[in-house]
Structure 1
Amino acid sequence: MKNSLEKANKTKIARRFIEIISFLDAVQEATIGDVVRELKLPQSSTSDLLYGMIDLGLLYRDPLSRSFSLTASAALLGQRGQLDHVRDGEMVRLLDNVARESGLVAILLGRVSLDVQIIGWAGQPVNDGWSDIFRPGMKRSLTSSAAGQLLLSSVSSSRRAAIVRHLHADADENHKFSVAQMLERLDRCNSSGRVIGRFGFNSSARIAAQLLPGLSPEQALSIGLVVDRSTRWPLDRLFDLLNEKIGSYCASVEGERIRVDGIQTAA
């Protein structure tokens, strides 16, 4: 029991750390009160965590405004081990461009083991009920979300069949699904490289998502637009926009780098 509580507390601290980093990244700067109100966190422990992040060199505190902002050290966390297009900021620009031109929430999702995970997003949610959805690290079963199904479709047919059967066996009675129908849907996703369907994550929203090309199944990423009933964009135009922006993104990534004898250098 003690070990379980300790593990839960460590997970809670790690989650708060990531939520604070993501919140400050979105708003640029915020006071302790802003962080507490937006993330619905207790003030005393949040204050301790913020000042601890200052000690680690991850945050800067303005003595006049008493606001906190991210340092360059925070921006560089983990960047060396990432794919080039993640490290050089092209992925962020892609999300921003899609969100700006559509007026919708553009979201980036990836696969973590048997789950689909929200990696990042851009744009403002049009529905107040979505505020608890767009949190960093949120995960759900691959088969529970259309975007998760799209990511799962990128693995080999034999492997995805095994994963689907495993997820079906582990699902509770309220989340059981037809294995045959799910495999057929995954085949269609694999053929088209895109999907429109239920967003999941305890939301009634839908998502139009497309795989980013050139990535291995283990590194597969999808970018999508989250829509609800008030969205006026026709579905075909959503995919036209995604195709256009992903095409520009791929051209930009390819144009910035050349490979010479297996060594990557700036073009």
Structure 2
Amino acid sequence: MKPKFVAISEEIIEKIISGELLPGDKVPSENELIKTYHISNTTARKSLLEIESKGWARRIKGKGTFVLNRTSDHQLLRTLGSIDSTRRGFNEGLQVEGFTPKNILLEKTVLKDGLSAAVMGKHYIIEGPVLKIHLLRYADDDVLKDEIRYISLQLCPRIDRLSTDISYFKTYEDHYKLQINDVKQTLSADILYPKDNHNNFEVDRPIAVFALDGVVLTPAEEVIEIERSYYRGDKYKFAVVAHPQYEPSKS
């Protein structure tokens, strides 16, 4: 008969293989395993170590144990409109999947005038001044995302003095105490060619990209941030999660 910790680790690994637990998802903690399986601290700890030692997950001190990205082409799955996913931030999202993130700052400018953008067929306006940040987001040695953010300096004063390595979403909530009511995003497809002036993906062939337009709103419909970013099409998959409300039939 196999040891209890091995049986538990195999059960969790099966959830990873089946897709019930996805890359970047948090594996149940020691306390959660203790409550679920009625086991000791030692058995729970050994279960997590077994999963990690087999290469299915990675422990990050102070945060927990996360499912690693083991896909052959290292494709990343991201969920559109997910506040939880957005809150985690780009760098942390890569770290928990086992990648080494790096940011290259191309531009950081304060624009005196406001700007507008169309997202989901509606125009949203940020009144000036606005912070423009243009970053190249790397995973290991590959540029995965070409990101431009426009952030309201009226709602987030002096955010231009903070590091660009932060999770902006968490900074809005924790530092500026802003309530995030909605994140609206649209996704389209495009092709970038090596000679295109706005192609920053460091490849010598045409590349398919996802173009994401997004807006972050307060309950009063104030625009905190507008985003325009390109994601490498061969490195990303996007998911959409719907939560339909049940309405009983009227008969």
Q: Give the number of the structure with larger relative contact order, counting CA–CA contacts within 8 Å between residues 6 or more apart.
A: 2
Shorter-chain TM range is under 0.3
Relative to total residues, which structure has the larger strand share, 1 or 2?
A: 2
Relative to total residues, which structure has the larger helix share, 1 or 2?
A: 1
